[in-house]
Amino acid sequence: MAAAQEEKREEKKFSIWDLPDVPEKLPPHLEFARTRVQCNLDAPVHTESITYSGAYASMRVDNSVQLDFFQEKFRVEVKRLTKDDMEFDLIGIDPSIANAFRRILIAELPTMAIEKVFIANNTSVIQDEVLAHRLGLIPIAVDPRLFEYISENDSPNEKNTIVFKLHAHCKRGEPRLTVKTKDLIWLPNGSEYLLEGQNPDSSSSSKPKTYTSFSCSQDSLPEFANNPISTLPDITIARLGPGQEIEFEAHAVKGMGKTHAKWSPVATAWYRMLPEVVLLEDIEDEDAEALVKTCPVKVFDIEDIGNGKKKAKVARPRSCTLCRECLRVGEEWEKRVSLRRVKDHFIFTIESTGALPPEVLFTEAVKILEDKCERVFSELS
Amino acid sequence: MEHSAFGDQSNATFSITDEDHTLANAIRFTLNQDSRVTFCGYSIPHPSDALVNVRVQTSGDPAREVLKDACLDLILMCRHVRSTFDKAVDDFKANEGVQEQNIDSKAIEGVQALDIDSESD
């Protein structure tokens, strides 16, 4: 009986008087505004997320999301996972949290990057400062969790600095030489350049002072013993003409993306909301073909429904880019096709630069958000 | 980090140093979900200062406790996200392994089938 009544209600045009006195859930138009962004031809509507717990108090609907409710609803679906990029869906989470993860991934996850370059000789056409900048941007394939931050007063030691050297020379009469990152040589014992005022010949009791003070060799540490530190191998640093030479030493330290983008562990990290494409009425024959033709990413397909009739169907809503070409077919099309986005479903993509695999980056980002909360919590108590 | 309440405990502004939209917006979200909160919001007084002011007004409970609960909620949410994510990744990796094995075994079967064919010839 109740089911029949409900069917009847759906058939009828929605009216506010049909609502029960004490509703358990929102009426459909409000539920739609709460969970979907509607993309019209001119502009999207219902774009805001309604988070206030008493937003629907006048309808006697509780909008506060309880923690156990969140835990019940929240899902993660991994779509693609490779060595250096991944795509996954975060379902049932608020944009503020998803955005916090994205911001932390880009700006607050530490990595190692070249910060100081000691140029001994550079006769190439690339200027010292440009060369140093290029070196800074080279991703270093090492787990940054094994290192400490270096502060202004710290001396560079094996816990906070990685040293590379490079010496490239293009002899006269030879073709041009391309200097690649694989030519960078890791120096596990630290800098080989002596501080000013040190005499290399005074081979007295103590070692001459260099620009770093390593107490032991980095390759004697267990984490690097069989796992030498390297950069990504195939990046061009400079091109040398005959007779040109580059010689320098580069010191990499730990830092965060908010100081400089070279410390960002991701090429990019981004999310988009899940597109939802709905055909509000049956679209047949020529109209269907026009619709399929208009979509540049092939969201629609044609389905045979017998009697030589064809019908359009939504085949790949996930690839919709919201270009809204399908709404531009004609004036009445905005009433036939509805483009929406699901507000709490995020398609998250992480491209790692190589220091850490993408799945580790994400868990580290979540941990950092936790640490931030813990800091505030402990300061308040 | 300061705590400035005027007279009653239920309205307060908290200045959090070394933070930005990342934390403040997430905290605002969890605060908004608390039914004790009548108003909350945050502002960054100057974009070059690493400082956010979080305003919390409640219907009676001390604002400090409500903010603490909001932090706790966010921590628990993060933990849940992390465990769910790790499980999803593990499942995906396990599944991928199975699929690769399937392909391998199919390939082997295919090779054997070819062998049989060539023998029968």
Mean pLDDT of A267-292: 91
Inter-chain touch B27–A65, beta carbons under 8 Å: no
Which one of A64, A363, A374 has the shortest CB-CB distance to B75? A374
8 Å CB contact between A104 and A98: no
Mean pLDDT of B107-118: 49
pLDDT band at A181 (very low <50, low <70, confident <90, very high): very high
- DSSP three-state, residue A113: strand
pLDDT per position as a tens digit, B51-102: 999 999 999 888 999 999 999 999 999 999 999 999 999 999 998 877 766 6
The CA angle A138-A363-A348, to the nearest 5 degrees, is 80
Which one of A53, A64, A97 has the shortest CB-CB distance to B26? A97
Nearest Cα residue to A71 out of B91, B80, B62, B19:
B80
Q: Among residues of chain B, what percentage have pLDDT more than 90?
A: 60
Which one of B35, B74, B76 has the shortest CB-CB distance to A53? B35
C-alpha dihedral sign at A128, A134, A137, A143: negative
Mean pLDDT of A51-56: 81
Q: Is the pLDDT of residue A137 over 90?
A: yes
Which residues have C-beta within 8 Å of that of residue B58, sequence separation ≥ 6?
Answer: B10, B11, B36, B37, B38, B66
Any idea which residue has 């993660």 for tokens? A76
Give the model's pLDDT for residue A52.
83
Q: Is the pLDDT of residue B110 over 60?
A: no
Inter-chain touch A373–B23, beta carbons under 8 Å: yes
What are the chain A neighbours of B39 within 8 Å (beta carbons)?
Answer: none
pLDDT per position as a tens digit, A83-102: 989 999 999 999 999 999 99
Give the model's pLDDT for residue A206.
62
Mean pLDDT of A169-174: 93
8 Å CB contact between A244 and A170: yes
Q: Is the pLDDT of residue A11 over 80?
A: no
Rounded Cα gap, residues A198 and A210, in angstroms? 8
Residue in chain B closest to A102 (alpha carbons) equals B22
Return the DSSP state at A210: B
Inter-chain touch A100–B79, beta carbons under 8 Å: no
Inter-chain touch B28–A363, beta carbons under 8 Å: no
pLDDT per position as a tens digit, A330-345: 788 888 899 999 999 9
Rounded Cα gap, residues A96 and A111, in angstroms? 25
ipTM of the complex: 0.83
Q: Does A51 touch chain B (CB under 8 A)?
A: yes
Angle between helices B21-32 and A358-380 (to 10 degrees): 70
pLDDT band at B107 (very low <50, low <70, confident <90, very high): low
Any idea which residue has 């092939």 for tokens? A298
8 Å CB contact between A129 and A277: no
Q: Is the pLDDT of residue A198 over 70?
A: no
Inter-chain touch A372–B23, beta carbons under 8 Å: yes
**Distance (Å) of CA A24 to CA A30, A31, A32, A35, A59:** 13, 12, 15, 16, 9
Q: Does A82 touch chain B (CB under 8 A)?
A: no
Inter-chain touch B88–A88, beta carbons under 8 Å: yes
Residue A335: what are its φ and ψ, rounded to 5°?
-85, -10
Any idea which residue has 């939504």 for tokens? A314
pLDDT band at A67 (very low <50, low <70, confident <90, very high): confident
Rounded Cα gap, residues A80 and B77, in angstroms? 24
